[in-house]
Structure formats: C-alpha cells, structure tokens
Structure 1
Amino acid sequence: MDAFEAIRPYSDAEVTPVLQRLLNDSELLNTLAHFRFPRLAPYADWALRPLIAWRLRREFAGINTVDALQKKIELYVDYTVEQATDGISYSGLEHLSAGQAYLFLSNHRDIVMDPAFVNYVLFHAKLPTPRIAIGDNLLQKPFVSDLMRLNKSFIVHRSLTGRREKLAAYQLLSAYINHSLIKDQHSIWIAQAEGRAKDGDDRTDSAILKMLHMSRKDESFAQVMQELHIVPVSISYEYDPCDQAKARELCIRAQTGSYTKVPGEDDNSIAKGITGYKGRVHIHFGTPVSHSPEEAKQLANQLDRQILSSYRLFPVHYLAYAQWDQRETDLGIPALDQLFKGSEIHQAQETWEKRLEACPEEQRPYLIQQYAMPVRNQYRLAAGRAL
C-alpha cells in the first residue's frame, strides 16, 4: 500500500473512476444545480440533476489524466479571472527553472484563489503546476475532497485533537512533501501559516518550517531547507472579496475573546473568494532559498522580508493607511499623487468609500487594518526597522 495513500493527490490511473463517482454524486449535482439555477433548483433539483450530469459527462469525456483535467479546468479559471479581476500581473519567473521542483511558500489571503492564481501564472508560463496543501477542515464533504485531490491537492490533517495523532499526521505530511520534491521532482504549494492573514499581517509561522524538517531529523535543518528549494511568493489583491467577513470576525474576537464559525461559513468564504471582485492581482516569485540559517525563526524572518517587500501596494492600501490609528508618521511614506495617476486615485477613493460605508462602524478599524498593514510592513523594511 502507498505510504501516502490517505493524503496524496489522485494519480492518472484514478482520474476516470473518480470522475465517474463524482458524476453520480447527488450532493455534488445538487450543489451545482443550486449554483447554476438558484431560483429554480429549490423546486426542481430532481429534474436538474440529470441535465447537469449529462452536461458534465459530455464536457469531461475522454479526460483520463490529471494534466488533461487541469487543461480543461484552466478554461474555467481563465473565465473566473476575467470576470472577477481587472487583470493579473506577475514578476520573478526568471528565478525559476523548468526542470527544478520548488516549494512555493506564499502569504495566505484567500482559501482557494491563492494557489489558483499561482497555478494560473505557472500554467500560462508553461511551467509545471504544483501539488497544493489543503486543510481537511475544508473537505467535509466527500465530493469536495475528490475534486481537490483530482486537481493535485494533498490533505493536511488539521482537525485532529490528540497529541500523538497530530504528531503522526505532521510526520506523514513532512515525509510526503519531501518525497514529492526530492523523489518525484514535483513542486509543492503551501501557505506560510495555518489560516488566512485576516489582519493583513503576512508572517511565516516557523512551525511550518519545523514540520518540513520533521521527517529528516537526522539531517541539519539548514541542509534540508536548502534541498527543498523554497520560493517565497507574494500574492497581492487590490480588493479582498472577504474583507468585510474578516473585519467582522476580528471585531467579535476583540469584543468576546473568541469566534465560532457557523456551519457553511468556510463554503461561503470559498464561493465569495472565487466569484467576488478583486480588482488587480499581482503574483511575485521570490529568490529561492540557497543559504538557510539553522534556526526556523531566522529562516521565517528571511522569507518574510521577501514576501513583504514584494507585496504590490495599490492606492487603496495607502488610503487605508492614512486613516489607520496605528500609522507611523515618520516612515517617510510618499503622497499618493507621487505614486499614482489622478484618475487611478479618484477611482480608488470611490471604491474605498463604498467599502467603508458597507461596513458597520464598530468593524471599520479592522477593515482599515487589513489594507493598511502591508504599507507599514513594507516601509518598515525599507527603513531598516524591525518588523
């Protein structure tokens, strides 16, 4: 039995049977019916399911490899990008070589679209797409797990509670990531920390780096990290479709000390993150780690310097920073008209005011913080200050 059977993505040999299983999954067909026909589905999902299944069979006929499936899915990703963004730009591809497997470690703002945008850029650059780490908390329904594992996702067991179970799960995860990068020569995407950076403060959790070393404890930390060819990735959104929900969560946490998600909240965040307006999006691929320190925290700081300094700041970030009660007036931040055209500033002001007006007053400081934090981090770095 494959040692990584429980967490790995599906192989080419599994594509056809898994697709057949999905096309007969009533819960998936119901979900698609409600998404495609929201008004009709509550009354006639029994009639819509066969129609949707027939359409899917026709659409995915002849698909029997993961690469073929990704090429088909890319058409839908391209459509989503066109509908929900004002365009994607990217930089840093010159740091990558076609024959090398990389560990893409990125900041984390959106559940699905962060790795989707990385895939989008690499796919269109004709570079191999990575395997994607995804938490099992997002895979509550079997069809969701099947869909994600078909698309090169592997499972991170975050919902375990026992200490031994957690340790065993992270040991297996570490072994799988190292196996994928070194034995399979297949790249990996993983977020820099568990959970999205809801306050806009993108920081690498050193525990992630320690996990990568767990399965190779007999080797030095620095040597292992260098062999993984870690590439820090900055993903910048002009506007975050989930910013209001994040502000609400942060506000409730501040007021009560905790926050409990309601059923379906992650599903709503995924849907809004995919379809919601993002403005412009920029992806930057940093320089691969060639010399790692022996301490995980030192490496995390090294990665953060690349991720934070390469974050693309848009006018809305500066507008938010000017309103932030924690702004530092001595950072030497230029005036907006020195950085952007007047028309661009005017458009951003209108959009930002609408977002503020839509946010309850007690939650606005947390909305402002999300957009202001990247400005402070970047200019602190430029000034040589501690993060």
Structure 2
Amino acid sequence: MGEFDAIRPYADTEVHAVLQRLFNDASFLKILTHFRFPRLARRFGWLLKPLIARHLRAEFAGIDNVASLQIKIEPYVDRTIERATDGVTYGGLEHLKPGEAYLFLANHRDIVMDPAFVNYAVYHAGLQTPRIAIGDNLLQRPFVSDLMRLNKSFIVHRSLTGRREKLAAYQLLSSYISHSIRAEGESIWIAQAEGRAKDGDDRTDSAILKMFHMSRKDEPFAEVVKSLHLTPVSISYEYDPCDLAKARELYIRATTGSYTKAPGEDDASIAKGITGYKGHVHLHFGAPLSDPPEDPKLLAAEVDRQILGNYRLFPVHYLAYEMWSGQAPEVRVPRAAELFPAEEVARAESEWQKRLSACPVEQQPYLILQYANPVRNQYRVKAGLPL
C-alpha cells in the first residue's frame, strides 16, 4: 500500500473498475433516477434503474483514465452551470503559468460548486484542473467517495477525535499536498477554513497555513509556503442557493447554542447548491505569494486581503448592507444606486425581496448578514483597517 493510498484521488489504472462499481451501486442509481425522472422514479424506479445503468455503461465505455473522464463530463458540468447561473466570469488567470502547479486557497460557500467553478475556469483557460480537498464527513456513502475521488478529490479526515490520530492525519495531509505540487506537478484546491462560511464572513484560519508546514518543519515556514505557490482565490456568488437554510441554521445556533443536522441534510445542501439559482458568479485568482511572511497569522491577513479585496460585490450585497445593523461607521459604503445601473438594481431588489419574504422574520437578520458581511470586509480591507 502506498503512503497516500488512504486519501489520494483514484489513479488512471483504477478508473475502469471504479466506474463499473458505480454502475452497480443501487444507491447511486436510485439518486440518478430521482434526479433524471423525479415524477416516475417512485413508481417505476425498479424499471428505470437498470435502464440508466445500461446507458451509463454505454456512455462511458472506453473511459480508462481521469483526463478522459473529465473531458467526458465537462459538457454536463457546463450545462449545469449554464442552467443555474446568469454567467460565470473570472479574472487573474494571467497570474497562472501552464505547466506550473499551485496551491489554490479559496473562500468557501458551497461544498461542490466552489471547486467546480475553479475547475471550470482553469479548464476553459487550457490549464490543468486541481486536486480537490474534501472532508470525510461528506463521504458517508461509498458511491459519494468513489465519485469524488474519480474527479481528483482527496480526503481530509475531519471526523477523527483523538489528538494523536488528528496529528497523524494532518501530517499525512501536509505531506500529500507538498508531494502533489512539488513531485507530481498537480495543483491543489483547499478551503481557507474548515466548513463553509455560512455568515458570509470569509477568514483564513492560520491553522490551515501551519498544516502546510507540518511535513517540512526543518525548513523555514515562508520558504515552504513559497515553494507551494500559494494562490488566494475569491469565489463570489450573486445569490447563494442555500442562503435560507444557512439563515435557519445560524438562527437555531444563536437561540439554542447548537445545531444538529437532520438525516440527509448534507445531500440536500449538495443538490441545492448544484442546481439552485446563483445569478452571476465571479472568480478571481490572486497573485501567487512570492514573498510570504514568516508568521502564519500575518500570512492569513495577506491571504484575507487578496480574497476579500478581489471579491466581486453585486447589487444585492449593497442592498443587504443598507438594511444591516452591523454597518461599519468608520468606512463610507456607497448605496447600490450609486454604483450600478437602475435596471440592474431594480432586478436585484425584486430578487432580494423574494428571498426576504421566504425567510421567517426572526431569521431575516441572519440572511441579511450573509450578504452584508462581504461589503463590510472589503471596504475595511481597502481602507487598510483590521477586520
């Protein structure tokens, strides 16, 4: 068994066998049947599942490596993105060189779509797609793990409880990230902090940065970071399909002190995040850090400066900020009407009111928070003020 076999993505030699395992997985076929034929699945699922399995075997016949698989599924990803967005734009790709591997450190709002949009941008720019870090809490069912590891995902063991086990897991993760970038020339995508920023407050956890250094502690911290070509990435959604669910969770946590997920809640979030309406989406790739500071906290502040400074604010963000009780008096934030055409603001006001109307009154402050926080953070960063 190889050093990284427990966490790495599947290799080309494993693709065919894993695909066949998926096409025989009853749970996977059931979900596909409900997704493709929602009205017929309940009564005729027993008939539809073998037909779908047969179609998949024919569709993916001859696929025996990861690159071919990604080329095959790329049109499906594109169609999904086109249906759920009003367009995807991206900037900063001039910072990236073909043939170079990068450590993409990104803000995190959606479990599946954040790395999917990064893949979308670099793929259409003719660059190699990164390997994707995903928490083992999302891989409870074998077919989900198979799907993700086929698509260049590697596993972050977050469910471990013992201190020694956690330390060993993060040591292995650190070593794998360094090996992937430096030895194999494969880029990495990882979130700036564990879990999604449900309140819209994107902050880099310095513990993540320290983890990158764990496997190379005999080298200076800044040199290790520089060798990984750490590149901050901002992902901006005009509308978050899961915003109402996040507002509910934040409200329950605030009023009861805890929140327990219902069975299947992660699956529902994934489905909503993929298919739900997002409006416009913008990605910005910052400049790789060529002179990182030696202090992890100072490095976190620099990453935040790039992620927050390059975040694309849409009219809805300003509309939410105008309603927010947590406005920053030390910075002047213009109104949406001062920055955007009247028609664009009117469309945003209509969509924003729909979301507010669908949100219980007591949960609305937490909905507003999600869209207002990026405004506060960006204007504080641009003014040179601490977050």
* TM-score interval, normalised by the smaller of the two chains: over 0.9
Give the structure 2 partner of residue 61 of structure 1.
61
**The residue matched to 2:200 in structure 1 has which SS?**
coil
Per-residue deviation, 1:333: 1.5
Give the structure 2 partner of residue 293 of structure 1.
293
Matched residue type, 2:363: Q
Of 369-378 and 29-38, more deviation after overlay is shown by 29-38
Alignment of 1:67-216 (within 5 A): 67-216=67-216
| Mapped pair 1:240 → 2:240 | yes
Q: Distance in 2 between matches of 1:336 and 1:81?
A: 27
Structure 1 unaligned blocks of 5 or more: none
Is the CA contact (8 Å cut-off) linking 2:238 and 2:280 kept in structure 1? yes
Matched residue type, 1:380: R
CA deviation vs aligned residue, 1:244-300 (integer Å, no higher than 9, x gap): 000001000100111111111111100000000000000000010111111111101
Of 27-36 and 14-23, more deviation after overlay is shown by 27-36
Matched residue type, 1:180: S
Q: Distance in 2 between matches of 1:301 and 1:101?
A: 23
| Mapped pair 1:24 → 2:24 | yes
Q: TM-score under structure 1 normalisation?
A: 0.99
CA deviation vs aligned residue, 1:50-77 (integer Å, no higher than 9, x gap): 1000111111111111001001111111
Is the CA contact (8 Å cut-off) linking 2:8 and 2:155 kept in structure 1? yes
Give the structure 1 partner of residue 252 of structure 2.
252
Q: Distance in 1 between matches of 2:217 and 2:57?
A: 47
CA deviation vs aligned residue, 1:212-232 (integer Å, no higher than 9, x gap): 111111111111011000000
Q: Distance in 2 between matches of 1:315 and 1:31?
A: 36
Give the structure 1 partner of residue 284 of structure 2.
284
**The residue matched to 1:215 in structure 2 has which SS?**
helix
Matched residue type, 1:243: D
Per-residue deviation, 1:330: 4.1
Matched residue type, 1:286: G
CA deviation vs aligned residue, 1:108-162 (integer Å, no higher than 9, x gap): 0000000000000000000000000000000000011001000000000111111
**The residue matched to 2:104 in structure 1 has which SS?**
strand
Matched residue type, 1:13: T
Alignment of 1:309-320 (within 5 A): 309-320=309-320
Q: TM-score under structure 2 normalisation?
A: 0.99
Q: Distance in 2 between matches of 1:190 and 1:330?
A: 33
Matched residue type, 2:18: V
Matched residue type, 1:325: S
Is the CA contact (8 Å cut-off) linking 2:98 and 2:127 kept in structure 1? yes
Give the structure 2 partner of residue 271 of structure 1.
271
Is the CA contact (8 Å cut-off) linking 2:23 and 2:29 kept in structure 1? yes
Q: Distance in 2 between matches of 1:227 and 1:384?
A: 28
**The residue matched to 1:218 in structure 2 has which SS?**
coil
Q: Distance in 1 between matches of 2:317 and 2:32?
A: 36
Q: Distance in 2 between matches of 1:279 and 1:335?
A: 20
Q: Distance in 2 between matches of 1:30 and 1:350?
A: 37
Structure 2 unaligned blocks of 5 or more: none
Say how many residue pairs are matched: 387
Q: Distance in 2 between matches of 1:168 and 1:304?
A: 28
Matched residue type, 2:293: P
Give the structure 1 partner of residue 321 of structure 2.
321
Per-residue deviation, 1:39: 2.4
Q: Distance in 2 between matches of 1:318 and 1:334?
A: 8
Matched residue type, 2:268: N
Matched residue type, 1:293: P
Give the structure 2 partner of residue 302 of structure 1.
302
CA deviation vs aligned residue, 1:166-209 (integer Å, no higher than 9, x gap): 11111111110000000001100000000000010000001111
| Mapped pair 1:4 → 2:12 | no
Matched residue type, 1:130: P
**The residue matched to 2:231 in structure 1 has which SS?**
strand
Q: Compute the RMSD of aligned alpha carbons.
A: 0.8
Q: Distance in 1 between matches of 2:349 and 2:14?
A: 50
Give the structure 2 partner of residue 231 of structure 1.
231
Q: Distance in 2 between matches of 1:18 and 1:335?
A: 52
Q: Distance in 2 between matches of 1:94 and 1:305?
A: 19
Matched residue type, 1:222: A
Q: Distance in 2 between matches of 1:171 and 1:330?
A: 42
